[in-house]
Amino acid sequence: MKKCIVCQKDIVSGKAAKVREDRIIRGLRKIKQMFNIARNFELYVCEEDFQKNTDKRKQYEKNVIVYTILAVCLFLVLVGLPLLGGKFNILLLLSCALLSILVVLFALLFKYVPATETQLEVISSIGSSVEVTKIIAPVQEKLKNIPIQKEESKKRIANLKR
């Protein structure tokens, strides 16, 4: 079943952009499968919400950069001040690194907006044209490679007519 990630509606037909399956989505799916609550929807963004999702994604990417810079600055300040005082503590270095990583992870996970494909696909009730092409193309390729003699084909046609 196809779902829009913005409005949470089922997509039966129309245009929609497929959501890219990245590490975060795969990780969330694995966690849900461990707890047997996975629904395994195909994730899309419908045409009406495509621009809204694109704007949110751009804002998310900016926020990731800002939070990363903030985490690096926090790390440098917390580690640099004791070093200027002439003290070095490995435990302080490790705890500051952990704190910086947590700041970036929280920014990544809690404000996450998945990326979408750049083009809107036409979705029909039977399946998208891309899905049909993926199924048919290998079969067509195998059929091209099968040599059939004209006489054999005439015999087969004659047998079918009987």
Mean confidence (pLDDT) of the chain: 81
Does the structure show a pLDDT above 70 at 130? no
Q: What CA–CA distance (Å, rounded) separates 74 from 99? A: 9
Give pLDDT, residue 141.
61
Give pLDDT, residue 34.
93
Q: What are the residues facing 16 on neighbouring strands?
A: 46, 121
For 3, the enclosing helix (H) or strand (E) is: strand 2-4
Give pLDDT, residue 35.
93
pLDDT digits (tens, 9 = 90+) for 12-62: 888 888 899 888 889 989 999 999 998 888 898 988 888 999 999 999 999
Q: Name which of 108, 122, 113 is nearest 5 in CA terms.
A: 113
Give pLDDT, residue 151.
67
113: Cβ contacts below 8 Å, ≥ 6 apart: 53, 56, 57, 59, 60
Residues in the chain, total: 162
**Between 151 and 11, residue with greater pLDDT:** 11
Three-class SS of residue 18? strand
Give pLDDT, residue 122.
75
For the whole model, what pTM was predicted? 0.65
Does the structure show a pLDDT above 70 at 63? yes
Q: What CA–CA distance (Å, rounded) separates 110 from 118? A: 24
